[in-house]
């Protein structure tokens, strides 16, 4: 079975504003296929994460996979991790405001406050439950994707809409 590049849902499509349903079987062939498709779709779009609603599937599943790129030149390198039925268990009091963009809202960036550290729990593709702590950029990705499975997008969290800039202007600034 070869992974397929899926169409990415765009802001305005209802699936992006609905709370996703839990995944029943993390080890099912359909979920494995969906995760493989999500990973190639995310890589093709040069993203660092992707949630199931972004490919039109309203399930509580996302992939976190930071890699340095033109969009995120200072990102750490991490192999893709599928997080199924994730939970944000706790978080730091400290927040960090940083630039965010979204594959479902192309061409736009905004400054979003996020918790600096998050304690999380999720089921892996092997069916096992994992716990961990994420910090900084990886914590930001988790929170961004977690919002997607809860019917939110990053623009909902931008406190000052005057911070929105185009992707082109963002790339000029972060060089």
Task: Indicate whether 115 pLDDT > 80.
Answer: yes
Asked if pLDDT for residue 105 goes beyond 90, the answer is: yes
Q: What is the CATH number of the domain that holds 22?
A: 3.90.45.10
With a pLDDT cut of 90, the percent of the chain lying above it is 91
Q: Is residue 6 a part of any domain in this protein?
A: no
* pLDDT number for residue 110: 96
Phi, psi of 40 (to 5 degrees): -70, -35
Question: Sheet harboring 117-123: ordered strands across?
Answer: 49-51, 61-64, 81-91, 117-123, 129-135
Beta-bridge partner residues of 63: 50, 82
Mean pLDDT (the chain) is 96
Question: Is 2 a domain residue?
Answer: no
Residue 86 structural domain: 14-174
Q: Is residue 72 over pLDDT 90?
A: no
Q: Which residue has the tokens 């911070």?
A: 163
Work out the average pLDDT over 61-69.
Answer: 94
For residue 1, pLDDT over 80 is answered with no
**Is residue 52 in some structural domain?**
yes
pLDDT at 70 over 90: no
Give the span between the Cα atoms of 87 and 82, in whole angstroms: 13
Domain total in the chain: 1
Q: How confident is the model at residue 174 (pLDDT cuts 50, 70, 90)?
A: confident
Residues 146 and 32: their CA atoms lie apart, in Å, by 19
The pLDDT value given to residue 173:
82
pLDDT tens by residue, 13-45: 999 999 999 999 999 999 999 999 999 999 999
Select which of 94, 100, 145, 169 is catalytic: 145
Is 8 inside any structural domain? no
DSSP letters, 83-128, are: EEEEEEEEE-S-EEEEEEEETTEEEEEEEEEEESEEEEEEE-TTS-
Active site residue 13: no
Answer whether residue 175 shows pLDDT above 80.
no
Is residue 154 one of the residues assigned to a domain?
yes
């Amino acid at each position: 079975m070869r992974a397929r590049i899926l169409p990415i849902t765009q802001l305005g499509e209802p699936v992006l504003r609905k709370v996703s349903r839990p995944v029943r079987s993390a080890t099912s062939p359909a979920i494995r296929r969906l995760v493989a498709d999500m990973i190639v779709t995310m890589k093709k779009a040069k993203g660092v994460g992707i949630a199931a609603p972004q490919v039109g599937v309203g399930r509580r599943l996302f992939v976190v996979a930071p890699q340095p790129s033109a969009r995120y030149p200072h990102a750490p390198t991490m192999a893709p991790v599928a997080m199924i039925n994730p939970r944000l268990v706790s978080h730091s009091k400290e927040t960090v405001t940083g630039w965010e963009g979204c594959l479902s809202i192309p061409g736009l960036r905004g400054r979003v406050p996020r918790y600096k550290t998050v304690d999380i729990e999720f089921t892996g593709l092997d069916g096992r439950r994992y716990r961990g702590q994420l910090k900084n950029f990886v914590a930001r990705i988790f929170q961004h994707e977690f919002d997607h499975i809860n019917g939110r997008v990053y623009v909902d969290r931008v406190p000052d809409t005057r911070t929105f800039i185009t992707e082109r202007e963002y790339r000029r600034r972060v060089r």
